[in-house]
Amino acid sequence: MKAFRGDGLAGVPARPAQRPARRRWRLSGRAAALAAALAGMSLVTVSAAAASAAPPPPAPGVTPGATVAGATRDLVYTAADGSVWLENVASGPSTPTRVGGRLADGPSAVFDGQHIVIFGQGTDNQLWTASCPSVTACGPWQPLGGVITSKPGAVGKSRMIYSVYARGTDGAVWGRDYNFGWGGWYKLGGQVLAGTGPAAAYLGGTFVLVVGTDKQLYIEKQGVTGFGPAGGVTTASPALTMVFGTAGAPNSLVGFARGTNGAGYYHRFLASSPGWHSMGGALTSGVAAVSDVKAAIPDTYTFGLGTNHQVYENSGTWAPNPSFNGWIRVTG
Determine how many CB atoms are found less than 10 A away from the CB of residue 132. Answer: 21
Q: Please answer whether residues 289 and 266 qualify as being in contact, where contact means their C-beta atoms are separated by less than 8 angstroms.
A: no
Task: Give this prediction's pTM.
Answer: 0.84
CA dist 312 and 327 (Å) reads 6
In one letter, which amino acid is 255? G
**What local confidence, expressed as pLDDT, does residue 44 receive?**
33
- Give all domains of the chain, ordered by start, each with its CATH number: 60-329 (2.120.10.70)
The model's confidence at residue 58, banded by pLDDT at 50, 70 and 90, is very high
Residues in a beta bridge with 100: 84
Determine how many CB atoms are found less than 10 A away from the CB of residue 92. Answer: 11
Nearest to 3 by CA among 261, 240, 214, 322: 261
**What local confidence, expressed as pLDDT, does residue 296 receive?**
60
Nearest to 33 by CA among 172, 212, 227: 172
The tens digit of pLDDT for each residue in 287-330 reads 999 998 766 666 899 999 999 999 999 999 987 788 999 999 99
Asked if the model's pLDDT at residue 112 lies above 50, the reply is yes
**What local confidence, expressed as pLDDT, does residue 139 receive?**
95
Beta strands in 103-249 (DSSP E): 108-111, 116-121, 127-132, 142-143, 153-158, 161-167, 173-179, 186-189, 199-202, 206-211, 216-221, 228-233, 239-243
